[in-house]
């Protein structure tokens, strides 16, 4: 069925799913069934939703963004101490304009954190490109501890939401666990968007972040309040604003869910504008499959489309994307 173009991004209270996520009878509770229905509707028709009732405290969400503001205010020489390079496994700080989307220099600076690999992945040739310890700044002092706590909590939340997505697709709750995404790769991007008017040569940059889909399974975005910047293209090609709603995450699905669902849940193009007067922070967390997993349509999703989605190894997809981000 062709997607039904939505004109606004739905809000889903995921609280029943988060509260009951470890219950073996998860899919039978009426409140959970209600969440599953809403997830199905959002994933089929727009690929984006606001999550409330997610259990991550407002204090932690705010702390993550205010520490990020503090970091980006540091002098360049201090930020460059954790500079991202090919030999750092593309982990660390990238200055303004270093990230490229489709040939344009994105108007943002960022720090990238990737999950660190255990011994089984360390020997994989494919993983070498993104290998390495994460790079943590000395200042702000609490930065590392807060971000690590945040990653732990968002891993748990993503797992709970994906149990709902699995049930929505008609599978078992643990479909995205075990060899598929039971040992998930993850990425945390701490992004700073300067107001374009504040730049010396604004013409040398594209927009904040050029239009793209996300690479993995699920993205949870924690964005500064009061700065509209993120836009989502609906299925009729209209750009919708994903304005910040304090205390919520903007959640969207990535390329791997399209393959696993055999095209039923499509990732949505989105972009970031920096037309505001203030420096904007956004911290997306990307929950991904196991690095070495071959992603292919789930057997119970084969009927979702006449044409079968082509399998990919998640790590290959990621490495290709990371390399083109700096081309």
> How distant is the alpha carbon of residue 301 from its chain centre?
23
CA angle, 307 then 308 then 313, to 5°: 150
Count the helices and strands in the chain (H runs, E runs): 9, 16
CA–CA gap between residue 287 and residue 134 (Å, rounded): 17
Residue 112 engages Fe ion in binding (rule: CB under 5 A): no
Residue 233 engages ligand AKG in binding (rule: CB under 6 A): no
Residue 223 engages ligand AKG in binding (rule: CB under 6 A): yes
Sheet of 239-241, strands arranged across:
209-212, 270-272, 230-233, 239-241
DSSP label of 302: G
Residue 214 engages Fe ion in binding (rule: CB under 5 A): yes
Residue 106 engages Fe ion in binding (rule: CB under 5 A): no
Q: Are 294 and 124 in contact (CB under 8 A)?
A: no
Site string for ligand AKG, 67-106 (x = CB under 6 A): ----------------------------------------
Q: Are 211 and 271 in contact (CB under 8 A)?
A: yes
Residue 221 engages ligand AKG in binding (rule: CB under 6 A): yes
Q: Which of residues 259-288 bind ligand AKG (CB under 6 A)?
A: 270, 272, 282, 284
Residue 191 interacts, among ligand AKG, Fe ion, none and using kind-specific CB cut-offs from 5 to 8 Å, with: ligand AKG
Residue 288 engages Fe ion in binding (rule: CB under 5 A): no
Minimum Å gap between C-beta 212 and Fe ion is 6
Q: Which stretch binds Fe ion (CB under 5 A): 126-134, 209-217, 243-251, 317-325?
A: 209-217
Residue 210 engages ligand AKG in binding (rule: CB under 6 A): no
Q: Are 107 and 97 in contact (CB under 8 A)?
A: yes
Which of 131, 166, 230, 264: binder of ligand AKG (CB under 6 A)? 230
Cβ-closest position to Fe ion? 214
Q: Look up residue 142 and give its two tokens.
A: 């609490």
> Between the CA of residue 112 and those of 63, 217, 239, what are the distances in Å?
18, 18, 27
Positions that interact with ligand AKG (CB under 6 A)? 189, 191, 209, 214, 221, 223, 230, 270, 272, 282, 284
Positions that interact with Fe ion (CB under 5 A)? 214
């Amino acid at each position: 069925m062709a997607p039904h173009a939505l004109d606004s991004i739905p809000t889903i209270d995921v609280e029943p799913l988060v509260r009951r996520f470890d219950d073996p009878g998860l899919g039978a509770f009426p409140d959970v069934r209600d969440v599953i229905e809403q997830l199905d509707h959002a994933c089929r028709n727009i690929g984006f939703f606001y999550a409330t009732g997610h259990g991550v405290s407002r204090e932690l969400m705010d702390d993550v963004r205010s520490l990020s503001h503090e970091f980006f205010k540091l002098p360049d020489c201090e930020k460059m101490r954790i500079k991202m390079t090919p030999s750092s496994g593309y982990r660390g700080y990238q200055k303004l304009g270093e990230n490229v989307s489709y040939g344009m220099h994105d108007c943002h600076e960022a720090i990238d954190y990737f999950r660190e690999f255990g011994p089984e992945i360390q020997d994989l040739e494919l993983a070498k490109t993104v290998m390495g310890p994460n790079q943590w700044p000395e200042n702000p002092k609490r930065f590392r501890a807060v971000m690590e706590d945040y990653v732990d909590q968002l891993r748990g939340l993503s797992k709970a939401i994906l149990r709902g997505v699995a049930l929505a697709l008609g599978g078992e709750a643990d479909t995205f666990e075990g060899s598929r995404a039971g040992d998930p790769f993850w990425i945390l991007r701490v992004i700073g968007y300067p107001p374009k008017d504040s730049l010396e040569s604004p013409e040398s940059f594209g927009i904040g972040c050029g239009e793209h889909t996300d690479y993995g399974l699920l993205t949870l975005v924690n964005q500064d309040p009061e700065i509209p910047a993120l836009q989502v293209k609906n299925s009729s090609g209209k750009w919708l604003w994903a304005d910040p709603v304090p205390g919520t995450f903007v959640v969207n699905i990535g390329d791997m869910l399209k393959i696993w669902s055999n095209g039923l849940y499509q990732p949505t193009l989105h972009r970031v504008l920096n037309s505001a007067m203030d420096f904007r922070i956004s911290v997306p967390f990307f929950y991904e499959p196991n690095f070495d997993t071959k992603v292919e349509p789930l057997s119970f999703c084969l009927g979702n489309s006449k044409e079968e989605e082509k399998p990919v190894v998640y790590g290959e997809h990621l490495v290709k994307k990371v390399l083109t981000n700096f081309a």
